[in-house]
A = this chain, B = another copy of it.
Amino acid sequence: MTTTAASTTAPTPRQDLPEDALAAGIGARFTIAAMTDGYVDVILAALRDPELDTSGLQIETGDVSTFVRADQATLLRYLTDVTARIAASGVHASIQVLFSRGCPGEVTCDLPTDASTLAAPPPQGRDVGTYAAAEWALYPLADNVRAGIEPDHMRDIYAAIDLAKELGTFRSSVHFATRLEGDLGRVLQTVVAGWTLVGRTVQHVTSHVTISVNSPSHADVD
């Protein structure tokens, strides 16, 4: 309940974490559900791969999800790298990500005093070679906006949709969500880019995406 529940402890800064990501409350929670008896091995092989670049990230793994804090480009790189490993395992998996930005205090959503990351350009993604289908929701939440910028979240949401169409990932609107399809890396890029675009004028923006990879239902498109 991001708008109200009190955060009892301050986030722990790490030396390699960009201070502006911390100040701007930029981060994500993700859950990987690998549908195999060997789910522990599949998930840990991805998260603990020594080749995985975890620079610039604060990572805390829990029983429901893994929390990651970083700037948008680093988040996209990390989530692409992790989920590409899951996809490469061939195991059917459901990947769920909650992105949040602009509410560093969890409760008050005070405007960061120096949060240049909030104005960052949409990050670039990469192809990973696996088809993904996804359902995406994007929520502009804050009533207050960044000083000196005229609020126009509809302009930014349309820009997000245009980007999804440009990336070839936009498929359709479904009840309560937008359906994306395409390369897993481009689906993630679409979501992170859209969330970033809306954040240009709306301070507190969250986004949720549920991604399916290696589904038996996708046999005809893989």
Residues of A at the B interface (CB closer than 8 Å) are 1-8, 11, 27-29, 31, 33-37, 39-40, 62-65, 67, 69, 92-94, 96, 98, 100, 103, 106-107, 133-141, 154, 157-158, 160-161, 172-179, 194, 206, 208, 210-212, 215-218
How many copies of this protein are present in the complex? 2
- Among candidates B107, B210, B218, residue contacting A65 with C-beta atoms closer than 8 Å: B210
Residues of B within 8 A of A133 (CB): 63-64
A107 to B158, CA, bound (A): 12
Residues of B within 8 A of A173 (CB): 1, 5-8, 106-107
Closest chain B residue, CB of each to CB of A104: B175
List chain B residues, Cβ under 8 A from A11: 175
Q: In the complex, are the beta carbons of B177 and A29 less than 8 A apart?
A: yes
CA distance A168 to B157 in the complex (A): 39
Measured CB to CB, the nearest residue on chain B to A37 is B37
Report the separation of the CA atoms of residues A98 and B211 in the bound assembly, to the nearest whole angstrom.
Answer: 14
Contact at A137–B1, with CB atoms within 8 Å? yes
B94 touches A31 (CB 8 A): yes
| Whole-angstrom CA separation of A63 from B194 in the bound complex | 23
Give 11 pairs: A residue, B residue, CB < 8 Å, sorted on A.
Answer: A1-B136, A4-B158, A4-B161, A6-B173, A29-B210, A36-B36, A36-B39, A39-B92, A64-B179, A65-B135, A106-B176
Q: Give the docked Cα–Cα distance between A65 and B35 (Å).
A: 15
